[in-house]
């Protein structure tokens, strides 16, 4: 068996290479475990972005898919703020073990469940290193099998259904995921005081609420305006209205806006052509559909029912999204700007088409928003970004 130090030295010397170049180097050294080395180099590169606070000295990384699907440090830490500390915690779909780690720190006994034997072995070693002070139990089986035999009353059950069940195509419906939450919902709330479920941001939130009877809260989580996760909190209590919490972590802080669909349906929007200031909601709000509640809360007007931009004469502070100052509005793109950032929403032309038609280069300080007014008229709005 080849010395581990030799493998580690090869990884350090070649960590800068892409996969094709790395494969070429490994072809010259058939004695080295090529797939293991590729996984470690890819994993460390991805972990520097997703898990910057982890100590990698005793960590092994699985294949790229597991790293792509695992949570980040930001979302892992956020999940831990949404639960109450307790004694018994189980992660039914352990995977890479990232959420097991962040949530597990709040509990005395942690049970990690994972059906994939290879991923199970890697994460078992990692979690023993990361959570040395905790009592750890490991079960190499499916979530369904574990639930069927379990007699423990947990303080938290967590699961992240596989969004690629049955193939590589990402699932966008609850029933496309494994385990199927619709089939095990009753079991979950009987076995635990708290149930947390992570879903892909592609999932339809309203449809999910209709399919499940126990969703007390949905956290829509974005990082730097990129929607990453939907986090469902299930409850065995009667639910009058599901809370939708829209969270966006930015470099300057955290944006949060809460609403519910019952109140959203009752609100009437006010409309106006662009005034002095224009507002674009963050990705979590756009995903959740808080379109009327947002305008009502901040006292601002929409420019059109399907455009999802807002406007006001006076500047609104702490708006959860981007704020712009309007310079000019026109229906002609030519000559509007030589260099600009293009946003197209509810406009006949895409951002690329607007850029090409106006002969506009990317970047600069100008923003051009292509959208429609309430009268359905396409419009271009030249703006400056205002930084809070």
Residue ranges per domain, the chain?
4-50, 70-239, 270-386
Partners of 330 in the β-ladder: 380
> What is the Cα–Cα distance from 98 to 319, expressed in whole angstroms?
32
360-365 long-range contacts (CB < 8 A, ≥24 apart) are 360/333, 360/336, 363/339, 364/337, 364/338, 364/339, 364/340
pLDDT at 122: 95
pLDDT at 80: 97
Q: How confident is the model at residue 168 (pLDDT cuts 50, 70, 90)?
A: very low
Strands 339-344 and 243-250: unpaired
pLDDT at 54: 85
pLDDT value at 154 more than 50: yes
CA nearest 264: which of 206, 197, 346, 207? 206
Phi, psi of 33 (to 5 degrees): -75, 95
pLDDT at 170: 53
pLDDT in tens, 232-264: 999 988 888 999 999 999 998 999 999 999 999
pLDDT in tens, 270-279: 999 999 999 9
Higher pLDDT, 7 or 246: 246
Partners of 243 in the β-ladder: 217
Tokens representing residue 326 in the block: 């309007």
**Once rounded to an integer, what is the mean pLDDT over residues 55-66?**
85
Q: Is 92 in contact with 196 (CB distance < 8 Å)?
A: no
pLDDT at 76: 96
pLDDT value at 228 more than 60: yes
Q: What is the Cα gyration radius of the chain?
A: 24
**Once rounded to an integer, what is the mean pLDDT over residues 222-226?**
97
pLDDT at 354: 96
**Once rounded to an integer, what is the mean pLDDT over residues 30-42?**
90
pLDDT at 319: 97
pLDDT at 285: 98
Q: Which of 7-11, 80-84, 218-222 has the lowest mean pLDDT?
A: 7-11
pLDDT at 198: 97
**Once rounded to an integer, what is the mean pLDDT over residues 22-50?**
89
Q: SS3 helix, strand, coil % of the chain, rounded to 5?
A: 35, 30, 40
> What is the Cα–Cα distance from 165 to 163, expressed in whole angstroms?
6
**Once rounded to an integer, what is the mean pLDDT over residues 93-121?**
96
Class of residue 215 by CB neighbours under 10 A (exposed 0-12, middle 13-18, buried 19+): buried
Tokens representing residue 175 in the block: 């029933």
pLDDT at 24: 86
**Once rounded to an integer, what is the mean pLDDT over residues 328-355?**
95
Q: Is 267 in contact with 294 (CB distance < 8 Å)?
A: no
> What is the Cα–Cα distance from 326 to 347, expressed in whole angstroms?
18
Q: How confident is the model at residue 387 (pLDDT cuts 50, 70, 90)?
A: confident
Q: Which helix (H) or strand (E) holds 39?
A: helix 34-50
Q: What is the pTM of this model?
A: 0.92
pLDDT at 171: 52
**Once rounded to an integer, what is the mean pLDDT over residues 79-88?**
96
Q: Which of 4-18, 172-186, 205-219, 360-374 has the lowest mean pLDDT?
A: 4-18
**Once rounded to an integer, what is the mean pLDDT over residues 289-298?**
97
Of all residues in the chain, what percent carry a pLDDT higher than 90?
77
List Cβ neighbours of 325 (8 Å cut-off, separation of 6 or more): 276, 277, 278, 383, 384, 386
Sheet holding 310-312, edge to edge: 301-302, 310-312, 277-281, 321-330, 378-386, 366-372, 339-344, 361-362
Can you list the alpha helix ranges (DSSP code H) found in 131-203? 143-149, 181-191
Q: Is 257 in contact with 288 (CB distance < 8 Å)?
A: no
Average pLDDT of the chain is: 93
> What is the Cα–Cα distance from 130 to 90, expressed in whole angstroms?
16
Question: Class assignment of domain 70-239?
Answer: alpha beta
DSSP letters spanning 4-27? HHHHHHHHHHHTTS-HHHHHHHHH
pLDDT value at 27 more than 90: no
pLDDT at 4: 81
Of all residues in the chain, what percent carry a pLDDT higher than 70?
97
């Amino acid at each position: 068996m080849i010395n581990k130090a030799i493998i580690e030295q090869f990884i350090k010397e070649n960590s800068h290479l892409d996969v094709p170049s790395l494969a070429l180097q490994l072809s010259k050294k058939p004695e080295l475990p090529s797939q293991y080395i590729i996984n470690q180099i890819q994993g460390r590169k991805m972990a520097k972005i997703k898990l910057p606070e982890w100590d990698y000295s005793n960590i092994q990384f699985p294949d790229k898919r597991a790293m792509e699907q695992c949570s980040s440090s930001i979302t892992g830490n956020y999940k831990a703020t949404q639960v109450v500390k307790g004694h018994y915690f189980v992660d039914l779909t352990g995977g890479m073990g990232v959420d097991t780690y962040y949530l597990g720190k709040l509990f005395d006994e942690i049970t990690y469940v994972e059906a994939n034997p290879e991923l199970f072995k890697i994460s078992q070693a990692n979690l023993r290193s990361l959570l040395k002070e905790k009592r750890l139990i490991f079960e190499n089986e499916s979530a369904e099998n574990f639930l069927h035999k379990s007699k423990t009353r947990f303080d938290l059950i967590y699961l992240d259904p596989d969004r690629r069940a049955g193939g590589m195509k990402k699932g966008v419906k609850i029933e496309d995921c494994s385990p199927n939450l619709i089939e095990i919902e009753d079991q979950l709330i009987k076995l635990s005081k708290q149930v947390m479920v992570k879903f892909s941001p592609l999932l339809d939130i309203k449809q999910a609420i209709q399919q499940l009877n126990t969703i007390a809260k949905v956290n829509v989580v974005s990082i730097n305006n990129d929607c990453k996760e939907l986090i469902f909190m299930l409850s065995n209590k009667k639910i009058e209205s599901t809370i939708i919490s829209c969270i966006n972590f930015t470099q300057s802080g955290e944006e949060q806006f809460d609403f519910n669909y019952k109140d959203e349906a009752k609100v009437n929007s006010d409309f106006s052509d662009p005034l002095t200031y224009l507002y674009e909601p963050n990705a979590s709000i756009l995903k959740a559909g808080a379109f009327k509640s947002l305008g009502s809360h901040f006292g601002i007007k929409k420019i059109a029912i399907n455009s999802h931009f807002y406007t006001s004469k006076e500047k609104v502070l702490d708006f959860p999204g981007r704020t712009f100052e309007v310079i000019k509005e026109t229906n002609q793109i030519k000559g509007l700007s030589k260099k600009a950032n293009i946003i197209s929403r509810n406009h006949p032309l895409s951002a690329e088409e607007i850029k090409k038609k106006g002969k506009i280069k990317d970047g600069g300080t100008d923003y051009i928003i292509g959208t429609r007014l309430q009268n359905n008229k396409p419009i271009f709005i030249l703006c400056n970004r205002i930084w809070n």
